Amino acid sequence: MNPLDLDRQLCFALYSASRAMTASYKDLLAELGITYPQYLVMLVLWENDAEPEGVTVKRLGERLQLDSGTLSPLLSRLEKLGFITRHRSTEDSRSVFVRPTAEGAAAKERAECVPARIGARTQLDPDALPGLLETLRTLTGNLRGDHAPTP
Amino acid sequence: MNPLDLDRQLCFALYSASRAMTASYKDLLAELGITYPQYLVMLVLWENDAEPEGVTVKRLGERLQLDSGTLSPLLSRLEKLGFITRHRSTEDSRSVFVRPTAEGAAAKERAECVPARIGARTQLDPDALPGLLETLRTLTGNLRGDHAPTP
DNA sequence: CACAATTGAATTGTGTGCAACCATTGCCAT
DNA sequence: ATGGCAATGGTTGCACACAATTCAATTGTG
């Protein structure tokens, strides 16, 4: 069998599923006025709303596996939208803390129904979800692991 | 439980896995001199190398779920790289046929080892692969299915 | 046949991703 | 202290994605 058959490529199945997922979020997030990657940033901020200072850009990058080249302009847009503020750390002025504004914090309530609505659209068996999550996480870890030239 | 927990979001697991996969292809495709989306286009062209005319842009878009806004500039780059040629259909001059050049066709041989090398990096049980593919395809279909406002 | 509606690509504009580079800041061994 | 070095975030440049628009070519309808 042809090893290059598109429909047999895991990469394409992932690529398609990921784009379909992002597209499905679009109308729900439009109600909040943000994009999907911006939503991911807000998830991290909402998770850490106990931190009075907020979360550093470095920590956001680690959590989402995004570098400053992606995050910097994205955070600028979130700032302009009034969802977050940025301020340099007084401890170490290399670091920049990101914190939700009152409006950004309030958006959390409106976002709480989003996962369930997406979950319904997937029509997946809820019992199958944890296994799929675990498989994808393992896969991601394995792919990130071998940075070696070519096993 | 917090419904907004990042690590419990299928969307983020997919997003991470897809980006890790694309990143993993990078060094392998660098040997061919193309990017990952360009590789996907070449897969479709290689699949249809029996067609003497090639494949239309429309068909490429259907196969990859990409619109002309993405494909047009991507095809321009593949053309400049010498991998493909484009020519308008004589039957219906709205359509544009895309065909691999000799160089583009020859690259197929060099690409044949790529899926196996990626497969090794995933460290997935080969028996688990078909099930995962099926799950992802079903998921993609379900997400594309409901274009309705908000089930 | 005229002509409105549709189709297929290309173009434009916005927002990611990511590599490469840069400026500033902190750290540390001399 | 101080010169070298790592850490942090910003900037630049390129390549997607995708919505919206444009334009030419075709099709459907009376």
Contacts of A8 (CB under 8 A, 6+ apart): A1, B115, B133
The length of chain B is: 151
The most distant pair of C-alpha atoms in chain A lies apart, rounded to whole Å, by 61
Residue A46 CA and nucleotide D9 C1' are separated, in Å, by 22
Distance CA B101, CA A57 (A): 46
* Percentage of chain A lying above the pLDDT 90 cut: 93
CB < 8 Å to A116, chain B: 3
Q: How far is the CA of A124 from the C1' of D21 (A)?
A: 37
User: Using CA atoms, how far apart are residues A110 and A126, in angstroms rounded to an integer?
Assistant: 23
Tokens coding A131: 């296994």
Q: How far is A78 from chain B (nearest CA, A)?
A: 19
Chain A residue with CA closest to B44: the answer is A6
Comparing C-alpha atoms, which of A54, A52, A113 is closest to residue A78?
A54
Band (A150; pLDDT cuts 50, 70, 90):
very low
CB contact under 8 A, A12 and B40: yes
Three-class secondary structure of residue A139 per DSSP: helix
Extended strands (E) in chain B: 55-56, 84-88, 96-100
The whole-angstrom distance between B3's CA and the closest CA on chain A is 7
Q: Is the pLDDT at A146 greater than 60, yes or no? A: no
pLDDT at A149: 41
The mean predicted confidence, pLDDT, of chain B is 95
What band does B145 get if pLDDT is binned at 50, 70 and 90? confident
Predicted TM-score (pTM) of this structure: 0.95
B24, B63, B65, B71 from B76: Cα distances, Å: 25, 19, 18, 8
Give residue-wise pLDDT tens across range A16-50: 999 999 999 999 999 999 999 999 999 999 999 99
Contact assignment for B122 to A139 by CB distance below 8 Å: yes
Tell me the shortest Cα–Cα distance from B100 to chain A, in angstroms.
Answer: 15
Q: Is B132 on the interface with A (CB under 8 A)?
A: yes
Q: What are phi and psi of A96, to 5 degrees?
A: -125, 125
Chain segment B8-65, per-residue pLDDT in tens:
999 999 999 999 999 999 999 999 999 999 999 999 999 999 999 999 999 999 999 9
Q: What angle do CA B90, B95, B96 make, to 5 degrees?
A: 90
**pLDDT score, position B150:** 39
Q: Is B106's Cβ below 8 Å from some Cβ in A?
A: no
Q: Is B2 on the interface with A (CB under 8 A)?
A: yes
Query: Is A109 at the interface with chain B, CB within 8 A?
Result: no
Q: How far apart are CA B135 and CA A123, in angstroms?
A: 11
Q: Are B41 and B78 in contact (CB under 8 A)?
A: yes
What confidence tens digit (pLDDT) does each residue in B59-79 have? 999 999 999 999 999 999 999
A130 CA, D1 C1': Å apart: 58
Closest in B19, B22, B142 to A122, CB measured: B142
Asked if the Cβ–Cβ distance from A142 to B122 is below 8 Å, we say yes
pLDDT, position B28: 98
pLDDT given for residue B129 in this prediction: 97
Question: Which residues, other chains included, contact B100 with Cβ-Cβ below 8 Å and sequence gap of 6+?
Answer: B42, B45, B46, B49, B54, B83, B84, B107, B108
Q: Does B121 contact A23 at a Cβ distance shorter than 8 Å? A: no
List A residues 45-104 in contact with B (Cβ-Cβ < 8 A): 46-47, 63, 65
Using the Cβ of A125 and the Cβ atoms of chain B, whether some distance falls under 8 Å is answered with no
Give A13's contacts in chain B (Cβ within 8 Å). 132-133, 136-137, 140
Q: Which of A40, A66, A23 lies closest to B143 in space, CA to CA?
A: A23
Q: Do B27 and A120 count as a contact with CB atoms less than 8 A apart?
A: no
Tell me: pLDDT of A144 over 90.
yes
Look at residue A77 and tell me whether its pLDDT is greater than 60: yes
Q: By C-alpha distance, which of A18, A135, A28 is closest to B11?
A: A18
**Residue B138, pLDDT above cutoff 90:** yes
The proportion of chain B whose per-residue pLDDT surpasses 70, expressed as a percent, equals 96
